[in-house]
């Protein structure tokens, strides 16, 4: 069953049930109040009649007493203690009440009873009879008028309920249309996207900012994100394919060279092995960086811990010096202790150290301290530097300042892009200042607030 039909069916059923329940509540409330009112009226009539009979007892004959107080639409009788009766006296059309069972009650009674298929109020009141004994004055009054009025009310409520079903059914259909229009529009757009392969949006009416509008707006936002990510993925795959093509070509060329001339020329073998090994390492590093960059910033698995920065820098300097044999000067101006992921921060430092190692031959300097409300780690080299026009682009993936020189040094244009994403994941900022021909300073800013 379609959603529109479900909404129509359920809303119509709920409203119909509510109408029936309201009508039933009205009817039963009114009928209860009506019967209670009639019963109180009968009690008042019986009390008045009992007072009149008490004042006339012994003055008027027993049979004549009841005739002096004839019932309006029912019957009246006096029941003595020995269950003998005086009367009953009945009104016109109520002769059947003469055959009712006569029972003496020691207490006052007032109730609604049913006799011969009709409803009556029955009131029994103890009175003092002329001989000083206790007797009952019992009065029956027909509820025919009240029953007829309730029948009219019942018919009116049934008619009103049936008539009210019409707008309920129409409103249910309209409600289903209102709710499902944006959903149908979304389905239509999704099918169109499936057929055409294009990223399309839903046209939104800005009149109402309800949940349906938010759903459509969220869908459009999702389409924008998918389109942006798709474009980035295409560009990323194209760039990665281009970057991997070169080392694979180099490896293939040297492998062919070894195949042709390597058996007779040791120098060719050594050169080829060196080139293949170098390109394989570069491909491995590039692949690792590509895998890291494939993660979104929100998906980095961080393990924060307390880090004493001077100690971390000493470990990094020692490891880098042992690996590359480069002189690194470490200057700690102020001790800095932070909460961060130690391995990710060390990886970030290694990226800038690796760049300093690749593009400079002089010593590398690392300075750490506190500046106002932030800590910093600065890594400075005295290498070739970066042209001013290229500085804003160096954090873009695969961007290289000097492609020929970078390729020779083994760079892929991914290191600084990875550094930017790592710093974002750690909640830190990276700054790059450089003067061409004089060197570069990479600064990691750590908020202390």
CATH code, domain with 218: 1.10.287.130
In a domain, 202, yes or no: no
- Does the structure show a pLDDT above 80 at 178? no
Residue 203 scores a pLDDT above 80? no
- 353 in the same domain as 278: no
pLDDT at 155 over 90: yes
270-to-253, 278, 418 alpha-carbon distances in Å: 14, 12, 34
Q: Tokens at residue 341, please?
A: 């992921």
CA atoms within 13 A on the CB side of 5: 2
d(Cα 376, Cα 141) in Å, to the nearest integer?
A: 102
Taking the C-alpha atoms of residue 349 and residue 378, their distance in angstroms, rounded to an integer, is: 9
Beta bridge mates, 439: 435
178 domain-assigned: no
Paired residues of 339 in beta bridges? 306
Pair 56, 135 in one domain: yes
Same domain, 20 and 145: yes
Summary mean pLDDT of the chain:
80
Q: Residue 285's pLDDT band (boundaries 50, 70, 90)? A: low
At 332, which CATH number? 3.30.565.10
Residues 78 and 27 occupy one common structural domain: yes
- 191: in domain: no
Residue 397: pLDDT over 70: no
Q: Look at residues 248, 271, 293 and tell me which one is the last residue of a structural domain.
A: 293
Q: 188-192, 205-209, 314-318, 375-379: which range is least confident on average?
A: 205-209
- Phi and psi, residue 205, nearest 5°: -85, 125
Residue 198 predicted with pLDDT over 80: no
Domain stop point among 116, 134, 150: 150
Q: Which residues, 6 or more positions from 281, have their beta carbon under 8 angstroms from its beta carbon?
A: 410
Domain-located, residue 182: no
- Could you tell me if 142 and 9 lie in one domain? yes
Angle between helices 309-324 and 342-359 (to 10 degrees): 40
User: What is the model's pTM?
Assistant: 0.46
Q: Quick check: 406 and 321 in contact, CB under 8 A?
A: no
| 127 beta partners | 135
Residues 50 and 97 both lie in one domain = yes
Alpha carbon distance 124, 50 (integer Å)? 10
Instruction: Compare 408 and 126 and report the one with higher pLDDT.
Output: 126
Alpha-carbon torsion (339, 341, 343, 346), positive or negative: negative
What pLDDT score does 36 carry? Answer: 92
User: Is the pLDDT higher at 279 or at 270?
Assistant: 270
- State the pLDDT confidence band at 295, using cuts at 50, 70 and 90: low
Whether residues 366 and 422 fall in one domain: yes
Q: Which two tokens stand for residue 98?
A: 């003469």
Per-residue pLDDT at 404 exceeds 60:
no
Q: Is residue 56 part of a domain?
A: yes
pLDDT at 190: 79
Per-range mean pLDDT, top range of 178-182, 272-276, 395-399: 272-276
Question: Does a structural domain hold residue 157?
Answer: no
Predicted confidence at residue 99, as pLDDT, reads 80
- Asked whether residue 78 falls in the same domain as residue 141, the answer is yes
pLDDT-derived band at 253, boundaries 50, 70, 90: confident
Average pLDDT of span 215-230? 81
Query: Torsion-angle region of residue 348: left (phi > 0), alpha (psi -120 to 50) or beta?
Result: alpha
Q: CB within 8 A of 403, min separation 6: which ones?
A: none
Q: Is residue 341 part of a domain?
A: yes
Total domains in the chain come to: 3
Supply the pLDDT for residue 313: 92
The domain spanning residue 130 has which CATH number? 3.30.450
pLDDT value at 152 more than 90: yes
Same domain, 355 and 405: yes
Categorize the per-residue pLDDT at 299 as very low, low, confident or very high, splitting at 50, 70 and 90: low
- Is residue 422 in a domain? yes
**Boundary of a domain, candidates 293, 328, 359:** 293
Together in a domain, 10 and 46? yes
The domain in which residue 420 lies consists of 301-447
Do 286 and 336 reside in the same domain of the chain? no
* pLDDT at residue 239 in the model: 58
Single out the residue of 246, 295, 252 nearest to residue 276, CA to CA. 252
The token pair that represents 56 in the structure block: 């006339």
Residues 378 and 367 sit within 8 Å (Cβ to Cβ): yes
Nearest-angstrom CA–CA distance, 50 and 126:
8
Greater confidence (48 vs 3) lies with: 48
Specify whether 33 is located in the same domain as 77. Answer: yes
């Amino acid at each position: 069953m379609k959603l529109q039909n479900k909404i129509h069916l359920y809303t119509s059923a709920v409203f119909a049930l509510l109408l029936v329940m309201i009508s039933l509540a009205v009817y039963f409330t009114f009928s209860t109040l009506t019967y209670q009112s009639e019963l109180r009226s009968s009690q008042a009539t019986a009390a008045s009649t009992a007072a009149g009979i008490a004042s006339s007892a012994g003055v008027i004959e027993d049979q004549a007493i009841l005739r002096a107080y004839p019932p309006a639409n029912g019957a009246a009788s006096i029941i003595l203690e020995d269950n003998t009766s005086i009367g009953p006296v009945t009104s016109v059309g109520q002769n059947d009440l003469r055959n009712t069972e006569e029972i003496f009650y020691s207490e006052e009674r007032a109730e609604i009873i049913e006799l011969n298929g009709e409803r009556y109020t029955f009131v029994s009141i103890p009175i003092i009879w002329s001989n000083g004994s206790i007797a009952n004055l019992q009065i029956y009054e027909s509820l025919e008028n009240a029953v007829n009025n309730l029948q009219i009310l019942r018919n009116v409520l049934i008619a009103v309920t049936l008539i009210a079903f019409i707008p309920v059914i129409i409103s249910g259909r309209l409600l289903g249309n209102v709710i499902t229009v944006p959903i149908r529009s979304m389905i239509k757009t999704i099918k169109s996207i499936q057929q055409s392969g294009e990223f399309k949006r839903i046209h939104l009416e800005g009149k109402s900012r309800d949940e349906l509008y938010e759903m459509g707006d969220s869908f459009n936002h999702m389409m924008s994100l998918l389109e942006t990510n798709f474009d980035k993925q295409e560009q990323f795959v194209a760039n990665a394919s281009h970057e991997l093509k070169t080392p694979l070509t180099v490896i293939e060329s040297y492998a062919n060279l070894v195949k042709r001339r390597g058996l007779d020329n040791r120098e060719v073998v050594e050169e080829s092995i060196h080139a293949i090994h170098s390109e394989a390492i570069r491909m491995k590093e590039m692949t690792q960086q590509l895998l890291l960059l494939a993660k979104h910033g929100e998906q980095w698995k961080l393990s924060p811990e307390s880090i004493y920065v001077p100690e971390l820098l000493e470990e990094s300097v020692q490891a880098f010096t042992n690996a590359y044999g480069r002189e690194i000067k470490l200057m700690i101006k102020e001790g800095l202790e932070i909460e961060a992921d130690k391995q990710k921060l060390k990886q970030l430092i290694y990226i800038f150290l690796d760049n300093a190692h690749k593009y400079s031959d002089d010593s590398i300097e690392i300075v750490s301290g506190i500046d106002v409300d932030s800590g910093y780690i600065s890594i400075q080299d005295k290498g070739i530097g970066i042209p001013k026009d290229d500085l804003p682009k160096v954090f873009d993936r695969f961007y290289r300042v000097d492609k020929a020189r970078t390729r020779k040094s083994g760079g892929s244009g991914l290191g600084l892009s990875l550094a930017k994403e790592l710093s974002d994941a750690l909640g830190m900022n990276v700054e790059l200042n450089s003067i061409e021909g004089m060197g570069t300073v990479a600064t990691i800013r750590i908020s202390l607030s």
